[in-house]
Each structure stands twice: as structure tokens, then as C-alpha cells.
């Protein structure tokens, strides 16, 4: 068997600035995810860690680090990432990023959300156990970007399920998380200038226009609470509760 990848590349021309992904059947029958890159193909597992490894017997390196941190707490030692652990964490962040953008390209929004949540939770862990501020910021600078991807995926998934109001609410949730991120870094006044925020606003308005939604029930509830119209708020809460029970 040849060791070149000519067959994998044949008919799959690289396109700059476009995420090109596909699901293929491997020789042993499992499905794998492939991403076209400039010099070839990245191949990833669709579950667990993208490279298929089990670091120290754990499903992911994040799981391993959480176990290490728990052991340190039991021994009353403060857990801090060392240099090797920081490098391994960086590898896993990048792997899940690659797989996330592939899932988005393939419109597999459930899996895109799962991989976004992995990196967001990992960022929270790094923030708590980072060896220094520089390492923390090297990841925190991407938090808004990951939230953006997650918000896109959650809104698109709601549209797929014929729930446009839920899509709008999901975008509102994402925008609030981005607002908190900007506020934490003293940049809340610049939030609306951000290209990702503008893209989410545009997506939200398109959903409102297409489905003739001025305000979702949840937005109406927030408005009623803000204006202290508690009778209306109670009616809207009941309406939301019934909608959840009907799902």
C-alpha cells in the first residue's frame, strides 16, 4: 500500500479562505472527518479527542487535567499548569477548533456546539489554573470568537427545528456572553463595532424579518419585568412554561 495521499486529494482542490470538510468512511468502517488544508488533509475522529488519543487514559487532556486538579485539592495543594501541560493544552484547544469549524461547514450544529463548549470550559479551567497572566490572555483573547461560533450554531440548530423564536433568544444569550467578555476587559463600549457582533445582529434581524417576529415571548417578558408590569410578566411566564412542556 502506498504511503502518499494522492488519492485523498484527487478531485478535492484547495480553496483559500474556505473551510472545506467532509465525512468519509475509513478502512475499518468507522467514519472520520477530513479538512482540506493547503498542503494536504487533516483527518480527525468524530468523537472524543480529534486525534483519537487518550492522554493518560482520559478521554481528553482536559479531563486528565481536571483529575489532576481534583487530586491537588484533596491534598490541599493549589494546582498550577506547568510548561508541558500548557503545551499539551494548546494542542487540544487547536484540535477542537479545527473540528468545530468543520462541523459548522457541514452544518452539523449539535457537534459544533459540543466542541465549542469543550473549549469554553477548558478556557475557564485555564483561567483558574494558569501559571501566569500571559498564558491566560493567550486563550482568553479567543473566548469571544468561540462564543460567536457557538451562538451561530445554536441559532441555526433552532431554525432547523422550526423554532425561530428560540433562535432569536439563543442569539440574545450569545450576545450577552460576548457583552460580559468585552466588559471584563474594559471594552464594552466597543462591542457594537465588533464584526462578530454585527454578524449576529444581522442574522437575528434576518430571522425576525423572515418569520415576522418583532419580539419573542422571552423578550416581551424581559420588557414587562423592566417596566414593572408584573401581571403581564406572569402571563408571559406561563406562556413560556407551556411552550416548554409542549416540546
- The pLDDT tens digits of the residues spanning 201-247 come to 999 999 999 999 999 999 999 999 999 998 899 999 988 888 777 66
pLDDT digits (tens, 9 = 90+) for 117-168: 999 999 999 999 999 999 999 999 999 999 999 999 999 999 999 999 999 9
pLDDT of residue 240: 87
Model pLDDT, residue 247:
64
In which band, very low, low, confident or very high, does the pLDDT at 22 lie, cut at 50, 70 and 90?
very high
* 3-class DSSP assignment, residue 105: helix
- Least confident range from 8-12, 130-134, 198-202: namely 8-12
The rounded distance, in Å, linking the Cα atoms of 66 and 73 is 11
Percent of the chain topping pLDDT 90: 85
Distance CA 47, CA 209 (A): 37
Say if residue 76's pLDDT is above 80.
no
Confidence tier at 106 by pLDDT (50, 70, 90): very high
First to last CA, the chain: 52
| Set of cell numbers at residue 10 | 484527487
Cell numbers for 175: 450576545
Average pLDDT value over all residues in the chain: 94
More confident residue, 209 or 185: 209
Residues 34-55 have a mean pLDDT of 96
* pLDDT score for 244: 78
**Where is average pLDDT lowest: 38-42, 90-94, 99-103, 226-230?**
226-230
CA distance 183 to 221: 25
Confidence of residue 192 (pLDDT cuts 50, 70, 90): very high
Residue 66 host element (H or E):
helix 61-74
Grid cell in block for residue 85:
501541560
> Residue 2: its pLDDT value, please?
66
Mean pLDDT on 43-47? 97
Burial of residue 113 (number of CB atoms within 10 Å: 0-12, 13-18, 19+) = buried
Q: Is the pTM value of this prediction over 0.85? A: yes
Phi, psi for 14 (deg, rounded to 5): -70, 135
Amino acid at each position: 500500500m502506498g504511503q502518499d495521499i494522492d488519492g485523498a486529494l484527487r478531485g478535492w482542490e484547495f480553496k483559500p479562505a474556505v473551510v472545506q470538510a467532509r465525512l468519509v468512511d475509513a478502512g475499518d468502517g468507522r467514519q472520520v472527518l477530513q479538512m482540506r488544508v493547503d498542503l494536504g488533509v487533516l483527518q480527525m475522529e468524530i468523537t472524543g479527542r480529534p486525534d483519537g488519543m487518550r492522554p493518560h487514559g482520559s478521554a481528553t487532556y482536559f479531563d486528565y487535567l481536571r483529575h489532576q486538579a481534583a487530586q491537588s485539592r484533596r491534598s490541599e495543594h493549589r494546582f498550577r499548569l506547568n510548561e508541558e501541560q500548557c503545551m499539551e493544552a494548546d494542542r487540544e484547544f487547536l484540535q477542537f477548533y479545527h473540528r468545530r469549524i468543520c462541523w459548522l461547514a457541514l452544518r452539523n450544529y449539535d457537534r459544533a456546539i459540543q466542541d465549542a463548549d469543550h473549549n469554553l470550559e477548558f478556557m475557564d479551567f485555564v483561567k483558574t489554573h494558569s501559571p501566569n497572566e500571559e498564558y491566560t490572555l493567550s486563550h482568553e483573547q479567543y473566548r469571544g470568537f468561540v462564543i460567536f461560533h457557538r451562538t451561530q450554531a445554536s441559532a441555526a440548530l433552532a431554525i432547523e427545528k422550526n423554532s425561530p423564536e428560540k433562535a432569536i433568544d439563543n442569539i440574545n444569550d450569545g450576545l450577552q456572553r460576548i457583552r460580559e467578555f468585552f466588559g471584563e476587559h474594559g471594552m464594552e463600549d466597543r462591542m457594537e463595532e465588533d464584526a462578530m457582533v454585527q454578524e449576529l445582529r444581522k442574522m437575528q434581524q434576518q430571522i425576525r424579518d423572515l418569520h415576522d417576529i418583532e419580539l419573542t415571548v422571552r423578550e416581551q417578558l424581559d420588557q414587562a419585568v423592566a417596566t414593572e408590569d408584573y401581571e403581564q410578566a406572569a402571563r408571559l411566564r406561563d406562556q413560556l412554561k407551556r411552550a416548554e412542556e409542549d416540546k
